[in-house]
Amino acid sequence: MLTSGTLHIVATPIGNLGDLTPRALDTLRSVAAICAEDTRHTRQLLAHFGLERPLLALHQHNEDQQAAQLVARLQGGDSLALVSDAGTPLVSDPGFRLVRAARAAGIRVSPVPGACAAIAALSVAGLASDRFSFEGFLPAKASARRERLARLAAEPQTLLFYESAHRIEETLADMAGAFGEQRPAVLARELTKLFETVLDGTLGELAQKVAADPNQRKGEFVLIVEGAGDDADAKVVEGRRIYAKLSEHLPPSTAAKLAAELSGAPRKALYGRNED
């Protein structure tokens, strides 16, 4: 009876190549082929370590089509590795459809742990890490981004986001608007790379630091924002979000009354703040 191969989910460095684990090297060396988000990028990584393996492109545009073919190879006995451009696959990267298809076919899927930018940033942030919510990349369009942030404003868990260089200023401004300028946060940039920086302060302070220093607008970012705090604070934040929406269509006093009922926040904290 033919034995199926294994699909290995292999974490790769997010910057410092010394972070590729010995087990990851052994796995990449042993598989029949490596599924990569960007084969050019992965080829450079393999060349650095003197590895030559067949590469198969697997990205968001072809994953649905490729998954069936890759599962067939695995069922035929080939073991494969899945990598992303950097860090742990499937964390804001393609791959879950292949993993789902492989598991549905009864194929063993095995993690090879390693670097992950979100967890690396959280480990040095100094913010609560017992409960956190990874939100990945926010929407590129300003209206959708602000709507998403408004929904998260009352979230008590620590919030983790990825962001790109060309949107970091806008995102910080939108976060300050949604969460308040005084909300504590940490901005981690270029982790494990030459120009690694970790800035902390309030969202308002971080926005000022980034605006004042062009170097802080370059590279890859992880933004970590403190949760909404105790239950009373969370209710007020949620109440203000609801009030802002309702007041677009209702008189302020009516909007505040409904927002208070829906959120449990004191009416005065909503209506008084916006109308005084």
Instruction: Supply the pLDDT for residue 258.
Output: 87
| Arithmetic mean of pLDDT, 19-36 | 97
Return the beta strands (E) in the chain as ranges: 6-10, 33-36, 55-57, 80-83, 108-112, 132-137, 158-164, 184-189, 197-202, 220-225
- In whole angstroms, what is the distance from residue 155 CA to residue 147 CA? 14
118-225 and 6-115 share a CATH fold: no
> Whole-angstrom Cα distance, residue 56 to residue 33?
7
CATH number, domain 6-115? 3.40.1010.10
Task: Say which amino acid occupies 12.
Answer: T
Name the residue ranges covered by the structural domains of the chain: 6-115, 118-225, 231-275
Burial class (CB in 10 A: 0-12, 13-18, 19+), 69: exposed
Query: CA angle 229-235-239, nearest 5°?
Result: 130
**Can you give the pLDDT at residue 196?**
96
Higher pLDDT, 3 or 23: 23
Checking if the pLDDT of 1 tops 80, the result is: no
Could you tell me which CATH number the domain at 118-225 has? 3.30.950.10
pTM of the model: 0.82
Q: If you average pLDDT over residues 179-198, what whole number do you get?
A: 95
Q: Is residue 14 over pLDDT 50?
A: yes
Q: Where are the beta strands (DSSP E) in 190-260?
A: 197-202, 220-225
The DSSP bridge partners found for residue 249 are none
pLDDT at position 232: 53
> 235 near 168, Cβ under 8 Å?
no
54-101 confidence digits (pLDDT tens): 999 999 899 989 999 999 999 999 999 999 999 999 999 999 999 999
Q: Across the chain, what does the average pLDDT equal?
A: 91
| Position 6 pLDDT exceeds 50 | yes
Q: For the segment 160-170, what is each residue's pLDDT rounded down to a tens digit?
A: 999 999 999 99
The residues near 92 (Cβ < 8 Å, ≥ 6 apart) are 136, 137, 162
